Amino acid sequence: MTRGVFVTGTDTGIGKTLVSAWLAQGWNAAYWKPIQSGMTEGTDPAWVARMAPDVEILPSAVELQAPLSPHEAARRERRRIDLSALVLPETDRPLVVEGAGGAMVPINETALMVDLMARLGLPVLVVARSCLGTINHTLLTLEVLRRRRVPVLGVVLNGQRNPANRQAIEQFGGVPVLAEIQPLPAVTRAMLESLPPPAFSCPS
- Determine if residue 11 is labeled as part of a ligand binding site: no
Q: Could you report the per-residue pLDDT of 140-195, keeping only the tens digit for each?
A: 999 999 999 999 999 999 999 999 999 999 999 999 999 999 988 888 899 898 89
Q: Could you report the per-residue pLDDT of 18-32, keeping only the tens digit for each?
A: 999 999 999 999 999
- Determine if residue 98 is labeled as part of a ligand binding site: yes
Q: Could you report the per-residue pLDDT of 24-79, keeping only the tens digit for each?
A: 999 999 999 999 999 988 899 999 999 999 999 999 999 999 999 999 999 999 99
Q: Please report, for the chain, the start and end positions of each structural domain, with discontinuous segments joined by +.
A: 4-194
Q: Are 35 and 69 in contact (CB under 8 A)?
A: no
Closest to 153 measured CA to CA, from 57, 27, 13, 12 = 27
Asked whether the CA dihedral 149, 87, 104, 179 is positive or negative, the reply is positive
Query: Distance of CA 66 to CAs 38, 55, 83, 97, 119, Å?
Result: 5, 26, 19, 21, 25
- Determine if residue 43 is labeled as part of a ligand binding site: no
pLDDT bin (cut points 50, 70, 90) of residue 1 is low
Fold topology of 4-194: Rossmann fold (3.40.50)
How far is it, in rounded angstroms, from Cα 99 to Cα 117? Answer: 8
Active site residue 33: yes
CA 26 to chain centre: 16
Q: DSSP letters of 144-201?
A: HHHHTT--EEEEEEESS--HHHHHHHHHHH-S-EEEEEPPPSS--HHHHHHSPPPSSP
- Determine if residue 174 is labeled as part of a ligand binding site: no
> Which helix or strand (DSSP H or E) is residue 31 part of?
strand 30-32
Residue of 24, 33, 102, 126 marked active site: 33
